[in-house]
Amino acid sequence: MVLPRAAKTQRRTRIQEEKEERILEAALEVFSAHGFRGATVDQIADVAGMSKPNLLYYFRTKEAMHRALIDRVLDTWLDPLRAFDAEGNPVTEIRSYIRRKLEMARDFPRESRLFANEVLQGAPHIEDELKGPLKELVDEKAEVIRAWTKAGKIAKCDPYHLIFAIWSTTQHYADFDVQVRAVLGQGNSGEGRFEDAARFLERLFVDGLQVSEQPAS
Amino acid sequence: MVLPRAAKTQRRTRIQEEKEERILEAALEVFSAHGFRGATVDQIADVAGMSKPNLLYYFRTKEAMHRALIDRVLDTWLDPLRAFDAEGNPVTEIRSYIRRKLEMARDFPRESRLFANEVLQGAPHIEDELKGPLKELVDEKAEVIRAWTKAGKIAKCDPYHLIFAIWSTTQHYADFDVQVRAVLGQGNSGEGRFEDAARFLERLFVDGLQVSEQPAS
DNA sequence: TGATAATTTGACCGGTTGGTAAACATTACA
DNA sequence: TGTAATGTTTACCAACCGGTCAAATTATCA
């Protein structure tokens, strides 16, 4: 036998798992930084510390690498939204969704940029995932939000655009990191910006910008 | 003479202006769709409807094209923020800033994606612009917002993160257009989504999500 | 008109791209 | 241990990349 993928019985060797792990880690690094077309197999091989043909022994094409990466990351990426609980307190749910998304932007910026690159360039490789699983999940959660608004638990608003707003504001800190740093300047670009962002966003989504009742001290 | 750039007396021929225009239009199309590394000169030439050497007669390198494009677009792109008026009514100013940014996302999505691609991939070509002119402009407007919060005109909040939030939520509709369409589905992906977004965002930034006083009819 | 400058093109170049072939090395296992 | 499957490498390829060059074409204007 020559090809490691699609082993008859099972994913046998431990060496396969290790190498595939290393490759996907390197692929994440490179794809997230340059997009699909901008990334090169040589670069990924270099980061993974192995030869290009060796890489192509585990993943037959550049696209196969990209696909494997997408498949692995997409599920994790949508976990916070799945945790959205219809039975919970709306404000608490929204607050913790924001916090979780912000934590992911902080801890997994490469994953965020991987998707951002992909979607930004027209999502040529993940169109099906967007129109299928993603849409279905969002539809489901949008219904939850709609129920909350109908029950008068939160202000009436378009649930889809609410979700878009949470996505964009949180992922902004991963996807546009260099711009955020540049604007905040050297002094304020420590990791504290995520806490500031969390404080701001939780307040924004819950209270808006209306004049606060307690005047600044 | 051989090189059209840096003509001694002035930008002489009208033919130069026309061709450079066509090239930059094509370059915008291609760079915004694939990023700098993902775009090819042949592709730009093809879209512009001229031969590659002819293209390189007007812009000597791929980078020169990209730079010319950035320079031309950046100013326009920051206009809405410049219009932010310290003397105006805070809520009105924020509302119209959101509306203007949303209009730009609708009418100039390629320009938005051009920058998004660039920033997403580490802003290798526009770092100076971010740390220089952009930061200074944001610093200035952040000061305006801070004055509003100190005067109690709007809720106390971090002005930088407020600006980030407006940027991200509005540009989301340009940069992540395919995702927005995919999630909204065919029925709702007409141009009406921008009006829905405007309604949602104006309300979000002004009132937040708190329980509305007037119950749904 | 004619000559001079501006514009356009086809042929081409060295380097890089994604991917392959086959020989070689290593592992797993009877 | 032997041997067959698995893993790795060297050398290589055709297509494409950004860019050059000299020749051909077109516009300008005295």
Q: Can you state the angle between helices B90-107 and B109-120, rounded to 10 degrees?
A: 90
Task: Report how far apart, in Å, the C-alpha atoms of B20 and of each of B6, B55, B56, B110, B125 are.
Answer: 14, 9, 11, 18, 21
Q: Is residue A189 part of a domain?
A: yes
Instruction: Provide residues 2-21 of A with CB closer than 7 Å to any strand D atom.
Output: 2, 4, 7, 12-13, 15-16, 19
Tell me which residue in A35, A134, A208 faces B121 most closely, judged by beta carbons. A35
pLDDT (0 to 100) of residue B147: 93
A5 falls within a domain = no
Count helices and strands (H / E) in chain B.
11, 0
In the predicted model, what is the mean pLDDT of residues B93-99?
95
User: Does A40 share its domain with A111?
Assistant: no
Any domain includes B200: yes
Q: How far is residue A81's CA from residue A101's CA, in Å, rounded to a whole number?
A: 9
Choose the final residue of a domain: B22, B38, B65. B65
- Can you tell me whether residue A54 is helix, strand or coil? helix
The parent domain of residue A173 ranges over: 74-207
Q: Would you write out chain A's pLDDT as a tens digit for each of its 217 residues?
A: 454 544 433 445 677 889 999 999 999 999 999 999 999 999 999 999 999 999 999 999 999 999 999 999 999 999 999 998 989 999 899 999 999 999 999 999 999 999 999 999 999 999 999 999 999 999 999 999 999 989 888 888 999 999 999 999 999 999 999 999 999 998 766 779 999 999 999 999 987 644 434 433 3
B133 vs A contacts (CB less than 8 Å): none
Q: B163 and B202 share a domain?
A: yes
Return the percentage of chain B with pLDDT > 70, whole number.
Answer: 88
Whether residues B101 and B198 fall in one domain: yes
Are B142 and B165 in a shared domain? yes
Nearest alpha carbon to residue A193 among A207, A209, A178 = A178
The last residue of a domain, from among B47, B65, B83? B65
* Predicted pLDDT at B155: 87
Q: Answer yes or no: do A148 and A89 share one domain.
A: yes
Give the rounded distance of the alpha carbon of A95 from its chain centre.
18
Q: What is the distance in angstroms measured between the alpha-carbon CA of A17 and the sugar C1' of C21?
A: 26
- Interface pTM (ipTM) of the complex? 0.90
Phi, psi of A194 (to 5 degrees): -70, -35
**Mean pLDDT of the region B188-205:** 89
Give chain A's count of helices (H) and strands (E).
11, 0
* Number of separate domains in chain B: 2
What are the contacts of A50-55 at 24+ separation with CB within 8 A?
A: A50/A19, A50/A22, A50/A23, A55/A23
Q: Answer yes or no: is B141 within a domain.
A: yes
Any atom of strand D under 7 A from CB of B51?
A: no
Integer CA distances (angstroms), A217 to A174, A213, B77, B152, in order: 34, 12, 37, 11
Chain length of chain B: 217
Residues in chain A: 217
In a domain, A3, yes or no: no
CB A76 within 8 A of CB A24: no
Helix, strand or coil for residue A61? Answer: coil
Residue B158 lies in a domain: yes
Q: Which pLDDT belongs to residue B15?
A: 77
Q: What are the pLDDT digits (tens) for B174-187?
A: 999 999 999 999 87
pLDDT in tens, B136-166: 999 999 999 999 999 888 888 999 999 999 9
The yes-or-no verdict on residue B215 having pLDDT over 50 is: no
In a domain, A149, yes or no: yes
Give the CA dihedral A193, A199, A204, A207, nearest 10 degrees: -170
pLDDT band at B79 (very low <50, low <70, confident <90, very high): very high
Do A193 and A87 have their domain in common?
yes
What pLDDT sits at residue A130?
Answer: 95
Does residue A1 lie within any of the structural domains? no
d(CA A11, C1' D14) / Å: 34
Nearest to A89 by CA among B206, B203, B205, B209: B209
